[in-house]
A = this chain, B = another copy of it.
Amino acid sequence: MARCSVRYAGRLESRLDEALRLIMVKADGCVAIHADGGAYKPLNWMNAPNSLAVADGEWIVSNTKGETLTITLHEVLMDSEHHLGEDPGLAKDGVEAHLQELLAALPHTIEEGLTLIRREHATAIGPVDLLCRDRNGMTVAVEIKRRGEIDGVEQLSRYLEYLNNDSSLTKEHGAVRGIFVAQVIKPQAKTLASTRGLGCVEVDYDALRGAKPDELTLF
């Protein structure tokens, strides 16, 4: 805890005038300077790996990209050190990967008669979440998001543009169409999807999980 002023020069330049702040240095060397409010993001920081030079009330933290964080200490209120050891880490449930996993197992919940061809179908411009076949034999690209917003529609549009230029896919089954799947889809995203000729489906994560309680108990 210290009264300090700070300067950062790197990807941009910034300046912090003198005030009381918390300076946190972690075991990996990363540095964060926190005010007494404003959520978890520090005012300034320097990620590991970096090097710390301490000299006469001034800390200079620099990394290999030529970025520097200069902390001038005007008054130190408290200086405390603790060794925490390795953290067992955070276990999560409900991220996009889990939603994708469920939908890959239950493609018919997206659209009746839909079957899975491949998950994470690789293309030069990124992976297509699900590649499916519909009841009429048409190929369907599915983009999955937890929250359906405009950039997800753009992403699906890009994939379709790419897939429809891939003759190995189209010569046998014709054009590829797209379905945008999310737990909630914002009105703007729905509008854009419809002007692009894309389908929109909203799904319920808990209901999906309930449909496969045996093998998908992640928690």
Contact = CB atoms under 8 A, between A and B. Distances in A.
B41 A36 contact: no
Contacts of A20: 82, 84-85
A128 B98 CA distance: 37
Nearest to A10: B94
Copies of this chain assembled into the complex: 2
Interface string A6-31: 00000111111111111010111010
A18 B47 CA distance: 25
Interface centre among A12, A37, A85, A90 (most CB of B within 10 A): A90
A85 B36 contact: yes
Contact of A19 (B24, B32, B84, B92): B84
A30 B41 contact: no
**5 residue pairs, one from A and one from B, having the closest CB atoms:** A12-B94, A36-B84, A35-B87, A20-B84, A28-B37
